[in-house]
A and B are shown apart, each in its own frame.
Chain A
């Protein structure tokens, strides 16, 4: 493709690519996101490609490998157009059937269809699946339209037209005004109004300014940014370019975790493609705007997702935060004004410019506009990436989209916002997904992680898990974060091991307040949230651990004991064979017993027993 010198070039090429695409009327879209790759979608893609070549159909059928579709539970998945036929759990052996029966003869293969766990019936098309039906997919819907490694795909679906509109017909002030009116807020966790951030940065005077895309996503169980950057890197780059034009920056950085190799690869490839087409570089699309992007790999610290630590890391220093008495929009990367936004925030920008601020603001609540991608994980039927309009009740997300609990257990809580967020009990599930409402409830949207927990989760243990995570990931510079988290963990460990006292609960609350108020950076300021929210909503569990020395969920090892119900035990001996510690003994066909001195409480016997004879107390 030649370099795009003007806005008209882009339009012409976009139309041409769209026509080319329409010539091939059959498309098979296979997900090549990390989730599906883990279930061997790469083999499936190769098998289908092989099959298409042997049947000489490769010119009439378009095979598109795309980024994540969100329904990772069912991977690898494929969608066949026209017809919108949805296949899940595909294996390479299915490739022959798919090509001959579906693509050639238009037949639907029953066994590959998705079965709705609620009604039990087979669902034929993608658009009928309840998981997708209940969502409002503004960003994620792009993923299935484009091959992340192909800028042609992106331009064919209207990519970079928002950029062309911005730099040709809008002034920086108009763009900032538009973003302000749209009510877009930072998707990385803080929820800071993006328009205000851009305005402050554009007002700062400097010879050089920077924009940064923060893709250092490290929350346990969250992968929204990964999927957006892996699945549609050009969307993020386009957003960054519009932002750079608005604030007056000439250089951008995408800071990606090194643990996301596919995201690094796709982002780098996208930057190279954009440079080749002249979309990055000097005088973009014939305007006076010049901009370039570099991809930087993160060093593997969770704290590097904090803006100042990220900038220190980019500068080549140790990734440690610094005091933010002067904001980074004035004094950021290399002490120059810097606008740092999350992947999802940047990805929202092009559609706001194209469709207008009012379109964006029409979705959502008073304080939170647009849609939010949530990563739904934990003890539910449909795990995956979910995009909903702000204001959707948590109940809808967990039950309608998530499909409710697995194994018929009762859902107890949802943990939102990763280690900085909190746990909300089931009676708070009517709360909407909204920055301010969740913050007031003691949790937060954060970057969008949602871990659903059922009755088999112990909330004290959950708090302990997050504190252990934060203790490892704290940079250790300031006293409240380093020592405060350490002491909180010490107290919680005491409680889970049966040494806790009720006074310690007051102490941990006071300590949590101190850590929140006095820590240097966002990591410390929110580190106490998992403890505070579990204490607020599940205090009775803490009290059970302290007063009765028991763990109601049967998780905390020091407080539980395994035993065999002699009534139920048939003496089959499965548990004896399974126990690696040799703690179970008994005659054949006689009730067995567990020796508590040898028992390590690993729970293997419990999962092996067919008669539910193993009890935990």
Chain B
């Protein structure tokens, strides 16, 4: 039997199943929290830090990622305060400066309010969200991909570059990769990157579920409704 706890997210008192994360509960309820590394059904590692929220206990607020935060009875969460917006904006700016050639990341940046990027663009082809690594390990138990190196040298690679027979060729890694969708005008040339800001958010190649959320219709959401499509795929 499912146990329920009641949590307060942005003022709404929500009955949430015990063991679920704040991010899942918020999305289910229609409260939009931007996120990149979270994929429904996969474990959460809190790598992209876009889904940060304020967890208020005893009048003290703590910034933490909602994907790794499990709901607890009486929890008070604020997802859209000025402080969170500012921090989220800065993280999205870091991300888009790193990978302007991804439509998904361009969209996240625009929706987090990034209008101008204050760092030189770098145009790398991976933001290390770890979606592919976790999908490979957790859906197929194939472990054909992994993180290698640390700090600046961290990258995704086949372990020891030699475990190809473990790869089930399911293509999930490609489907889940936020880097596979280029901006509408096509890939930007090195040195000519810019913040587009015109695209609609599309983090995954699935059928869109239209009009699922009022925020999206208002143009302020993050198209979280498309998860219905992802669940169908799985």
Binding site for B on A (CB under 8 A): 301, 303, 318, 322-323, 325-326, 471-480, 482-484, 486-487, 490, 507, 510-511, 514, 517-520
Given contacts A479-B48, A483-B98, contact A514 B91 (CB under 8 A): yes
Judge whether B191 is part of the interface by a CB distance below 8 angstroms.
no
Q: Which residues of B contact A484 (CB under 8 A)?
A: 94
Given contacts A477-B128, A518-B49, A518-B91, 7 further A-B pairs with CB under 8 A are: A318-B147, A323-B68, A323-B69, A477-B147, A482-B128, A517-B63, A517-B87
**Residue on A with the closest CB to B154?**
A476
B70 interface residue per 8 A CB criterion: yes
In Å, the complex CA distance between A511 and B48 comes to 16
Instruction: Give every chain A residue within 8 A of B120 (Cβ-Cβ).
Output: 490
Whether A476 lies near B150 (C-beta < 8 A) is: yes
Chain B residues with CB under 8 Å of A490's CB are 119-120
Residues of A within 8 A of B118 (CB): 507
Give Cα A510–Cα B47 distance, bound, in whole angstroms. Answer: 20
CB within 8 A of A511: which of B90, B98, B153?
B90
Which single residue of chain B is at the shortest CB-CB distance from A484? Answer: B94
Distance of B57 from chain A, by nearest CB (Å): 12
Q: List 17 A-B contacts (CB under 8 A).
A: A301-B150, A323-B69, A471-B151, A472-B151, A474-B150, A474-B152, A476-B151, A476-B154, A478-B46, A479-B91, A479-B94, A480-B94, A483-B98, A487-B94, A517-B63, A518-B52, A519-B49
| Best-buried of A303, A325, A326 by chain B (most CB within 10 Å) | A325
Contact of B49 among A325, A471, A475, A478 (CB under 8 A): A478
Q: How far is the CB of A216 from chain B (nearest CB, A)?
A: 15
Q: Chain A CB within 10 Å — which of B63, B90, B97, B119 has the most?
A: B90
Chain A residues contacting B152 (CB-CB under 8 Å) are 471-472, 474, 476, 482, 486
- Chain A residues with Cβ under 8 A from B94's Cβ? 479-480, 483-484, 487
How far apart are the CA atoms of A518 and B90 in the complex, in Å?
A: 10
B181 contacts A by Cβ under 8 Å = no
Enumerate the 3 nearest inter-chain pairs by beta-carbon distance, A residue then B residue, closest first.
Answer: A476-B154, A323-B68, A514-B90
A480 touches which of B45, B91, B153 (Cβ 8 Å): B91
Instruction: Contact check, A487 vs B119: say whether CB atoms are below 8 A apart.
Output: yes
Q: Which residues of B contact A323 (CB under 8 A)?
A: 45-46, 64-65, 68-69
Instruction: Tell whether, in the assembled complex, residue B90 and residue A510 are in contact, meaning their CB atoms are under 8 Å apart.
Output: yes
A331 to chain B, nearest CB (A): 11
Alpha-carbon distance between A477 and B147 when the two chains are bound, in angstroms: 9
Interchain nearest-CB distance for B181 vs A (Å): 19
CA of A511 to CA of B95, assembled, Å: 13
Assess whether B149 is interfacial by the CB under 8 Å rule. Answer: yes
Contact B45 A479 (CB under 8 A): no
- In this complex, the member of A303, A483, A486 whose beta carbon has the largest number of chain B beta carbons within 10 angstroms is A483
Name the B residues within 8 Å of A473 (CB-CB). 150-151
Q: Is the CB of A475 within 8 A of B91?
A: no
B69 proximity list for chain A (CB < 8 A): 323, 325
A519: chain B residues within 8 A (beta carbon): 49
Q: How far is the CA of A519 from the CA of B91 in the complex (A)?
A: 10
| Chain B residue nearest to A303 in the complex (CB) | B150
In the complex, A322 Cα to B46 Cα: how many Å? 8
Contacts of A514 in B (CB 8 A): 86-87, 90-91
Residues of B within 8 A of A476 (CB): 128, 147, 149-154
B151 and A474 contact, CB distance less than 8 A: yes
Q: Bound complex: CA of A322 vs CA of B69, how far in Å?
A: 12
Task: Give Cα A510 to B119, complex, Å.
Answer: 13
Closest B residue, CB atoms, query A322: B45
Cα–Cα, bound, A541→B193 (Å)? 34
By the criterion CB–CB under 8 Å, are B91 and A482 in contact? no
Looking at the assembled complex, report how far the CB atom of B195 sits from the nearest CB atom of chain A, in whole angstroms: 16
Contact B49 A479, beta carbon cutoff 8 Å? yes
Contact across chains for B68 and A479 when beta carbons are under 8 A apart? no
Question: Which B-chain residue is minimally distant from A511 (CB atoms)?
Answer: B90
B205 to chain A, nearest CB (A): 23
Chain B nearest CB, measured from A307 CB (Å): 16
**Nearest CB of A to B143, in Å:** 13
What is the chain A residue whose CB lies nearest that of B55? A325
Of A474, A476, A480, the most chain B CB neighbours within 10 A belong to A476
Look across to chain B and name the residue whose beta carbon is closest to the beta carbon of A319: B150
Among A472, A473, A482, A510, chain B packs the most CB atoms within 10 A around the CB of A482
Tell me whether A475 and B150 are in contact in the complex, defined as CB-CB below 8 angstroms, given that A480-B91, A514-B91, A518-B91 are known contacts: yes
A477 to B91, Cβ gap below 8 A?
no
Contacts of B151 in A (CB 8 A): 471-476, 482
* Cα separation A483 to B92 with both chains bound (whole Å): 11
- Taken together as a complex, chains A and B put the C-alpha atoms of A303 and B149 apart, in Å, by 13
Q: CB-CB < 8 A to A318: which residues of B? A: 147
Chain B residues near A518 (CB-CB < 8 A): 49, 52, 63, 87, 91
Residue of A nearest to B52 (CB): A518
Residues of A within 8 A of B147 (CB): 318, 476-477
B90-130: which have CB < 8 Å to A? 90-91, 94-95, 97-98, 118-120, 127-128, 130
Query: Taking CB as reference atom, which chain A residue is nearest B65?
Result: A323
Residue of A nearest to B94 (CB): A483
Chain A: minimal CB distance from B94 (Å): 4
Q: What's the minimum C-beta distance from A595 to chain B, rounded to whole angstroms?
A: 34
A597 to chain B minimum Cβ distance, whole angstroms, is: 29
Which residues of chain B from 133 to 154 have any CB-CB distance to chain A below 8 Å in the complex?
Answer: 147, 149-154
Is B47's CB under 8 angstroms from A325's CB? Answer: no
Nearest B-chain residue to A519, judged by Cβ = B49
Q: How far is the CA of A585 from the CA of B90 in the complex (A)?
A: 52
Closest to B92 in A: A479
Report the Cα distance A507→B130, complex, angstroms. 28
Measured CB to CB, the nearest residue on chain B to A474 is B151
A165 CA to B118 CA in the complex, in Å?
Answer: 62
User: Closest approach, in angstroms, between the C-beta of B3 and any C-beta of chain A?
Assistant: 17
CA–CA, A480 to B95, complex, Å? 9
Interface string of B73-97 (1 = CB under 8 A from A): 0000000000000110011001101
Query: Do residues A479 and B47 form an inter-chain contact, with CB atoms below 8 A?
Result: yes
- Whether B64 contacts A480 by the Cβ 8 Å rule is no
**What CA separation (Å) do A514 and B153 show in the bound complex?**
22
Q: CA of A211 to CA of B69 in the docked complex: distance in angstroms?
A: 26
The one of A477, A483, A507, A517 that contacts B45, using a Cβ cutoff of 8 Å: A477
Distance of B25 from chain A, by nearest CB (Å): 14
Q: How far is the CA of A76 from the CA of B64 in the complex (A)?
A: 50
Instruction: Compute how far the CA of A511 lies from the CA of B119 in the bound complex, rounded to whole angstroms.
Output: 11
Tell whether A520 pairs with B46 under 8 Å between CB atoms, given A476-B150, A476-B151: yes
